[in-house]
């Protein structure tokens, strides 16, 4: 009977150790900001592409208006 109690305590100790290790891993993962730079670059790229699209559209509209005046 004592052997069973000791084995149960060892099992609980291992489970507690495993859970604590997983909590440490999650805590470190939550503080990790490695992906934030990539997301920031993507957002800047989208903003630049939108700006370029607006400028190209404005220039194209201006050129088309001037071509219409020539004819």
pLDDT in tens, 23-41: 988 888 777 676 667 788 9
**pTM greater than 0.75 (yes/no):** no
Give the domain range for residue 57. Answer: 35-71
Q: What is the mean pLDDT of residues 54-64?
A: 94
Same domain? For 42 and 60 the reply is: yes
Per-residue pLDDT band for 48 (boundaries 50, 70, 90) equals very high
DSSP letter string, 23-64: HHHHHHHHH--HHHHHHHHHHHHHHHHHHHHHHHHHHHHHHH
Same domain? For 45 and 20 the reply is: no
Distance CA 2, CA 63 (A): 92
| Cα-Cα end-to-end distance for the chain | 104
Same domain? For 22 and 45 the reply is: no
Q: Tokens 């084995």 appear where? A: 7
């Amino acid at each position: 009977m004592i052997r069973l109690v000791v084995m149960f305590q060892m099992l609980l100790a291992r489970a507690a150790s495993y859970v604590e290790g997983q909590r440490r891993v999650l805590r470190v993962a939550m503080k990790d900001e490695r992906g934030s730079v990539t997301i920031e670059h993507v957002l800047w790229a989208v903003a630049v592409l939108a700006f370029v699209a607006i400028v190209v559209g404005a220039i194209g509209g201006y050129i088309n208006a001037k071509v219409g005046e020539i004819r």
